[in-house]
Amino acid sequence: GPVPGVSELDPAFTVAEHLRERALLQGRYGASLRTLLRPRSERRAAARTRIDTALEAAGLDLATLPKAERTSVRD
């Protein structure tokens, strides 16, 4: 079954760090080998799209956070 605490956010990280980590993991483990061989600019654009989609799904607007993407999760 699920492991308790695995998907909890680390309060020491910022919002941006969590989003980048998630995009990195999805790009590495959720993609085909062909995707990993694409140019860096394409991979970076795809990661940005995943981050924007995650923000939209969560209903977060970085502009409304106290320190934008540098806001700590605990804040």
Residue 36 clears pLDDT 60, i.e. is over it: yes
Residue 59 clears pLDDT 60, i.e. is over it: yes
Residue 42 domain-assigned? yes
How confident is the model over 24-53, as a mean pLDDT? 80
Give the structural domain span for 46.
15-69
What pTM was estimated for this model as a whole?
0.57
Residue 44 domain-assigned? yes
- Predicted confidence (pLDDT) per residue in 40-53, tens digit: 898 889 888 888 88
Residue 4 domain-assigned? no
Q: Are 19 and 55 in contact (CB under 8 A)?
A: yes
What percentage of the chain exceeds 90 in pLDDT? 1
Residue 9 domain-assigned? no
Residue 3 domain-assigned? no
Residue 57 domain-assigned? yes
Per-residue pLDDT band for 17 (boundaries 50, 70, 90) equals confident
The full DSSP string for 4-58 is: TTTTSPPTTSBHHHHHHHHHHHHHHHSS-HHHHTS-HHHHHHHHHHHHHHHHHHH
Residue 32 domain-assigned? yes
